[in-house]
Structure formats: structure tokens, C-alpha cells
Amino acid sequence: MAKFKTDIQDISFNLFKDLKVHEHSNELGENDLKDIIVQFDKFAENEVYSCRTIGDEEGVRLTEDKGVVVPPSFVEATKKYYENGWFALGYPEEIGGMPAPHSVSFACTSIYVGANVALSMYSGLSQGAMNVILQVGSQEQKDKFVPPMMEGRWGGTMCLTEPGAGSDVGAAKTTATPNDDGSYDIKGVKIFISSGESDIYDNNIHLVLARTPGSEEGTKGLSLFIVPRFVINDDGTSGASNSVKCTKIEEKMGIHGQATCELTFGGEGACKGWLIGKEHEGMANMFIMMNEARLLCGIQGESQANLAYELTVQYAKERSQFKSEIVHLPDVKRMLLKMRAMSRGMRSLILYTANLFDLEKKGDEHAEKELALLTPVCKAYSTDEAFQVAVDAIQVHGGYGYCSEYGIEQFARDIKIATIYEGTNGIQAMDFVMRKILKDKGEAFNALGAKIQETLKSPVCAQWKNECASLMTSMQKAQTILEGYGKSAASKDFNSILASATDFLTYCGNLIVAWRLLRGAIVASEELAAGNSSEKEYLESKIVDFKVFCQHYLTRNSAIAQSILNFDQDLMKLEL
């Protein structure tokens, strides 16, 4: 059976040769940052990946006496994750963190998630909830909740979705009635709550969207509340129940080791919560966590696609048929090359986006807008394409891939949910076109386009004329599509825009990933020209990745552009 393997060489190439992220680190040098990634990779192999399959088989149980019980190996692995200081990576020292560039902590997160996505979500949701408290919580709330969350004693969640409301968050009915002591009585039901309850943590700190008395309809009337599972005693320990109860565990296609819960607040007595941030600013505050969760979804796709490729190429080099290893069969090699190009391309996109956090902190005024522009692309494109990589991994494995013996079919089951939660990929496409492009009249999109055009001016590009010409054509067609969108928006014909928004996001994903792989090919070519023979095989593979991606993925843009520009997009006229 294939062994766990992370392409550390490719991660290092992206971070240190292309993005040069060590220049953002005041505390740690390049070698220190590389060592962090290598050490985390060892931890992921030994403690995280080792319980991936067993966690999938054992799943999660809802018990009368203990509540939600997760696989015991998950409890132990998470404990070691905190004890080894990995949760603290990227946080400031004043709260017990270990400072590092966002891109480096994202690289470690990618390894963590790829090794065991169901396990990683427990600490991942806690991190998201804690970040909201750090950004908009009062000093009292920070002092009360952050230390035990940093230590791993308390976990965190985000509670938006309700029965019947689905993606329509503004239809939420959960109520928050004020008390004389400054608390609120929370009453309602939330569904599909990832990490909603578990025996990993002593207490679960829920961030709950609820409606105060007299609030207007829709999202503008929602406020955000901190709601602990257990009452917190004066000495900081967890006490009696706060009437937050898991009333159902969802039986799912994948991520079986993840506790996806229905939570009932105030169903068996008073459930107290405390307002975080200002009243009626719940959605804005929750989006601090939502945007991080959407990037995490992108990582869920990218990371699992990369591991699926690594396991699959090992299998193809060992599996013999027709008197040869199957890696030598043209159709299998085609699939493997496509898998590698797409997986590495997604990695480059994710790490580039992560680096924008550091550039923003350094004062780059364009980084924030570009980060907002790329977030829906990272989420939707990476998860859609990663699912197809997983399908190809199954295909290369043949019958063994369809069976559970090699653990390959689990990738397809675990990846699929990332296209659905934290805002479906259709919602991401709507956000991308309507809010991230048309709302600011294409400012951020055009700025990114200028970066792509600048890259295409490199003298090295002359050796890839067809590929670069295809990239330039895609750039030009994108502008034509946006001009059409602008005319439709001016005439209030939004249905025709929304009908092709998903296609256009895919189009832009192909374009941006091709650009990122071109950047990699240019850097690799320069390294080869400088006489870097120690990495010759790898550097040549970076050029191959760009060429393969252009041939098999960027060429799709021609058909997408034709579909958007030459056909009627008003689907509302068509009958089902």
C-alpha cells in the first residue's frame, strides 16, 4: 500500500523561490521556516494520517451519558496537536502563539487537512471562532475565552444554518432575549454544525447568529452571541449544562469522523449567551470566520487532491499489468500528469492567496481587495477540481480504487462536502461576479489582470508560445465577457449574469491557475539556466505542469467563452 507523502519540495519552491515569504518574517529565517514545515509533516504522518481510515470506519456516536463521542484516536491526535504547539502556529506570542508568516501556517494547515480532513476540522473551527473573539470581542471576552481555546481545553464552532433556511441565513428564527444581567436567553435550533459537540474538548464555545426583539427581517436583523455548552464558573472551569444539546448526528457521505450536529439551544431550560460585537452586526462579524472557513474549504480540496495524487502515482509505479507498471500506459500517464498539474496549480493558488495576508499586514493597499477577489475562487474552483482529481485517482486504481482497501475512494467522499458548505459553490460564483467584480467596476480584477500581463512579458515565455498565447487569449475573452455583464447589469438583467456565473468562475480559475503555474515555470527555467542541477528533475516537472495544464485545462476556456457569449443566458425563459 502507498505511503503518506507530502511534496515538501513543491511547497518550498512556491514559498521560498517564487513568493519569497521568508522576507515577511522578522523572527525566523528561511531555514527555520522550512524546518517548521518538515517537522509538521512528520507529525501529520505519524499522528494525523495514521487515524484517517480508522476514524472514517468508527465514525461518531451520540450517547445518553457522554453526549457526542468521536473516535478515540481523534482525541489523542488532537491532544498531541495542541501539546506540540501546532495550534499556536501563526499567532502572536502575547497570547501564547508562535509567530510565522500566514503562508507558512497555511502550508502546515494544508498538510494537516490533507492527512485527515475530518480530524482537522475540530481545531480548525475552534481557530475560526477564536479569531472572531480576538477581532471583535471585548477585553473581558478575550481574557475569558482565548486562553483555554489556545490551550485546547475549549473548542469553538459557528452556528448559522437552521432547518428550512439552508443557505438563506437571513431566514434564521433563533431568538436572543435580553436579561437584566447583560446576558441573553438563546432559543432555537441550528443544523449542520461542524464540530458541534465532541469529547475532545471540556467545553464547546458556540458563536450563534440570533435575532433580538424588534429586529428587522433578513440578515440585517441578526446579531452574534457567544454561547458556551457548559456554564463557566467563576474560577474558569466548566460547570452545569447551559441547555445546549446535540439532538442529532448527521449520517453523511463522507467525513465520518467529524461530528456534524443538530444543536438545540434552550430546549431544556435557560440557555445564556453574550453579545459579541455590536447588535445587528452579526453577519459582518460572522464573516470574519466565514471567509477563513471558505479559504479552509479551498485547502480541503487542494490538500486532499495533492495527497490523492501522491498515493496514486506510487500505486501506478508499483502496479503491474500487461508486463509493465501501469504508469507507462499512455492513458494512465495522461491522468497522472493532469492530476499533478491541477493539484500543484491549486497549491500555488492557495499559497499565493495566503501570502496576501502577509502583504496586507505589511501595508500593501491592493492585497486586501485581491484577497477578497480570490477567496471565492479558492473555495469553489479548488473544491470542484479536487473532486475530479479524486475521481481520477479512483480510476487509476481501477477496482481497488472503488473498494476501500487503499483508502482512495474516501478522498472523493470527503472532498465533496467542501463544494457545498460555507456557501455552496454556486453562491461563491454569485459573490465573485456580483460583489467582487461588478460592484467595484472590475478594479481588483483588472489589477490582477495587469499582474498576469506583466508575467507574460518575461523573455522566458518565448519558449512556450502556444501556451502563453492561449493565456493571453483567455485574458482578452474575460474582458469581453465582463463587458457583456456590465451591459446586463446596467439594464437590470441580472438573471443572465447569474446563469453563467459558475462557468465564469471556472473560467477565471483556469486562467489564474495557469498564470500561477506559468510563474512557477519561469522561476524553474531561471533556476535551470543558473545551473541548478541538484533539482533538475523537479524543476523540469514545473515546466511540464504548466504545459499540461494549458493543454488540458486552459483550453476549456475557449468553450466556456463561446457558451457565455454566443448563447442565450436567460434560463428563466426555459421550462423544466
Give the range of the structural domain holding residue 472, as residue numbers without chain letter: 443-570
Residue 121's CATH number: 1.10.540.10
Looking at the fold, whether 542 and 468 belong to one and the same domain comes out as yes
Looking at the fold, whether 191 and 266 belong to one and the same domain comes out as yes
Q: Is 152 exposed, middle or buried (0-12, 13-18, 19+ CB in 10 A)?
A: buried
The kind and range of the H/E element at 191 are strand 184-194
55 inside domain: yes
Per the residue annotation, which of 422, 535, 537, 575 is the catalytic one? 422
The kind and range of the H/E element at 159 are strand 154-159
Q: Cell numbers of 128, please?
A: 475560526
399 inside domain: no
Beta pairing class for 260-265 and 61-63: unpaired
CA distance 344 to 325: 24
- CB-CB neighbours of 383 under 10 Å: 29
Report how many helices (DSSP H) and strands (DSSP E) the chain contains, helices first: 19, 14
Q: Cell numbers of 399, please?
A: 477496482
pLDDT at residue 171, as a whole number:
75
The kind and range of the H/E element at 361 are helix 330-361
Beta pairing class for 222-228 and 272-275: antiparallel
Looking at the fold, whether 459 and 554 belong to one and the same domain comes out as yes
Looking at the fold, whether 95 and 197 belong to one and the same domain comes out as no
pLDDT at residue 23, as a whole number:
87
CA distance 303 to 297: 10
pLDDT at residue 525, as a whole number:
97
307 inside domain: no
Looking at the fold, whether 162 and 266 belong to one and the same domain comes out as yes
Chosen domain end from 225, 259, 281: 281
Q: Which residues pair with 208 in a beta bridge?
A: 159, 225
289 inside domain: no
Looking at the fold, whether 130 and 170 belong to one and the same domain comes out as no
pTM greater than 0.85 (yes/no): yes
Q: Is 195 exposed, middle or buried (0-12, 13-18, 19+ CB in 10 A)?
A: buried
Residue 240's CATH number: 2.40.110.20
CA angle 378, 383, 384 (to 5 degrees): 110
Residues 6+ apart with CB under 8 A from 353: 295, 298, 371, 374, 375, 378
CA distance 535 to 540: 9
Question: What residue has cell string 440570533?
Answer: 210
Looking at the fold, whether 178 and 108 belong to one and the same domain comes out as no
Looking at the fold, whether 169 and 274 belong to one and the same domain comes out as yes
Chosen domain end from 70, 102, 136: 136
Looking at the fold, whether 161 and 84 belong to one and the same domain comes out as no
Looking at the fold, whether 130 and 206 belong to one and the same domain comes out as no
37 inside domain: yes
CA distance 167 to 556: 30
Please tell me the total count of domains within the chain. 3
Looking at the fold, whether 65 and 158 belong to one and the same domain comes out as no
CA distance 287 to 223: 12
CA distance 259 to 198: 7
Query: Which of 33, 5, 156, 135 has the alpha carbon at shortest distance from 89?
Result: 33
Beta pairing class for 154-159 and 203-211: parallel
CB-side exposure of 494: number of CA atoms within 13 Å?
8
Q: Look at residue 290 and give its three-state secondary structure.
A: helix
250 inside domain: yes
Residue 44 identity (one-letter amino acid): A
CA angle 395, 398, 404 (to 5 degrees): 100
149 inside domain: no
CB-side exposure of 552: number of CA atoms within 13 Å?
17
pLDDT < 70 regions, the chain: 1, 165-169, 569
Residue 422 in contact with residue 290, Cβ under 8 Å?
yes
Largest distance between two CA atoms of the chain:
80
49 inside domain: yes
Residue 545 in contact with residue 520, Cβ under 8 Å?
yes
Distances (CA, A) of 252 to 75, 260, 416, 573: 21, 9, 11, 36
Q: Is 217 exposed, middle or buried (0-12, 13-18, 19+ CB in 10 A)?
A: exposed
Would you state the torsion angle of the CA atoms of residues 213, 215, 220, 225, taken in this order, to the nearest 10 degrees?
Answer: -10
CA distance 119 to 259: 10
Chosen domain end from 81, 101, 136: 136
Looking at the fold, whether 129 and 180 belong to one and the same domain comes out as no
422 flagged as catalytic: yes
pLDDT at residue 157, as a whole number:
96
Express the helix, strand and coil content of the chain in percent, nearest 5 each. Answer: 60, 10, 25
